[in-house]
Structure 1
Amino acid sequence: MKKSTFLMASLLSLLPAAALAHPHVFVEARLEVVADDDGNVAELRNVWRFDEVFSSSVVLDFDKNTDLKLDPNELAEVGKTVRDSLVDYDYYMNLTMNGKNIKVEKPDLIHVDYKQGQLLMFFAVKPAEKMPLKGRLTFGVYDPTLYTSIDFPSDNELVLVGDSFKSCKHQVVRPDADQVIAENKQSLTDAFFNDPTGTNMSKLFATRLDVTC
């Protein structure tokens, strides 16, 4: 089966489900949750830095003039491809408001750069519905297919921005995989490990920012 080396959604449509049970792409991320002056979540700003192996494969796919680098127009094409591809995966955003899942709107633009052998992406998304700072909110970034490992190198990479958050408490939660499996034995069936896209349970393993207002 012919595979595209680029980006997650394209790969997901081509690879057999069993191959998706562990990460193939590795990303170091930063997430800034921004609140407006009215006490609502305004947007979520993302920075993704991809591993060198995957980044080099992107260069091979998008370096149309074969000069071994990505020119501005080629970088723009990468951003457009990602913007179109990840819409079905909600751009890997994992937002909840008092237990309710909140989707996000399509970003206006995904900015892409390539520095020191690594692909960088910068983009902001907005909640698809009003998200007031009331009760318990969670914010995270994860790939429900487990194809891409998204890691926050330190707790400082999960940030609250805006005076409206001053009355809220927050903590970064990094679930222990063994503990998650032990606590969810009945839910995490063989079907989950063979095809996580059909269960949406991978978020149990994802680092997240818990906010209580």
Structure 2
Amino acid sequence: MLSQKCVVAAGPKPYLSHMRWILTLFTFCLPVPVLAHPHVFIDTGLEFIVDDAGNLTHVRVTWAYDELYSLFELEDRKLDQDGDGILSESEQAFLAGFDAQWIEGYNGDLVVRADGQIIPLSGPMEPTATTDNGRIVSTHLRAVEGEPVAAAALSAKAFDETYYTAYEVTRPVTVSSNLTCQIERTDPDIDGQLAQMRAFLLTLDANYDLGENDIPLVGESFATEIRVSCPST
């Protein structure tokens, strides 16, 4: 049985005001097609599972969706019909995996690196879903694929590069291992990144053609970095 040796408490209050300000920038500075661009906020938690040899074997991901998205999702699926924000066991079983039907090539909006190299991870396994104060909370497990990966210098970021979805690591980050591991987090320079984005957007004009130009991929710039270090044996 693996024991939890390291826990990082939830981070600071989500940067919702910053993110909504970003959306306002896009709304006023970019052409009409961007106005229809949907947006979802997800509070994220991570569990790194490390074996006795000091190798990362799995990552378990928790996603807690914002209230509005959760409401729409539950209504569309005709769940929580009594409106008490609590799902029955059968409803939880029905909802489990609703966000685990990934298209080929999708990275799960999670990038984990070891010594700077991206670690290949499996698709989602063992999906669960429930509700917490009206918010959908789901989990899924991903296995490390290929050669064993030492957990001596891991780095992880949860982000959607297009900012379709905004992830914030506000739920616990843990390491499950018999080893004593260290966890550090580095939060992004929100103000600095916003200033850069604003400067870019102000360079655009009404003739900016989204068909020929890509919106800058800013998701990683707003992502918290989690670093994990476990001793090898």
> What TM-score do you get using the length of structure 1 for normalisation?
0.69
Is 1:131 aligned to 2:149, yes or no? yes
Match of 2:168 among 135, 140, 151: 151
Partner of 2:7: none
Report the Cα offset of residue 127 of structure 1.
Answer: 2.0
Q: Which of the pair has the greater relative contact order for Cα pairs under 8 Å at 6+ separation?
A: 2
Q: Distance in 2 between matches of 1:52 and 1:146?
A: 18
Q: 1:42 to 1:49 in 2, by over 3 A?
A: same
SS at the partner of 1:18?
helix
RMSD: 3.6
CA contact (8 A) 1:35 1:165 kept: no
Greater share of helix: 1
CA contact (8 A) 2:166 2:219 kept: no
Q: Distance in 1 between matches of 2:143 and 2:115?
A: 18
Q: Distance in 2 between matches of 1:53 and 1:208?
A: 27
Greater radius of gyration (CA): 2
Q: Distance in 1 between matches of 2:117 and 2:174?
A: 21
Report the Cα offset of residue 205 of structure 1.
Answer: 2.1
SS at the partner of 1:105?
coil
Report the Cα offset of residue 138 of structure 1.
Answer: 0.3
Report the count of equivalent residues: 187
> What TM-score do you get using the length of structure 2 for normalisation?
0.64
Is 1:44 aligned to 2:64, yes or no? no
Q: Distance in 2 between matches of 1:172 and 1:152?
A: 9
SS at the partner of 1:38?
coil
Is 1:60 aligned to 2:75, yes or no? yes
**Unpaired runs of 5+ in structure 2?**
1-31, 205-209
Is 1:118 aligned to 2:135, yes or no? yes
Q: 1:144 to 1:74 in 2, by over 3 A?
A: farther
User: What whole-Å deviation, never above 9, does each CA across 1:148-192 have from its counterpart, x for those lacking one?
Assistant: 1111237xx2222323454xx5420101034347789xxx9988x
- Report the AA paired with residue 132 of structure 1: A
Report the Cα offset of residue 37 of structure 1.
Answer: 0.7
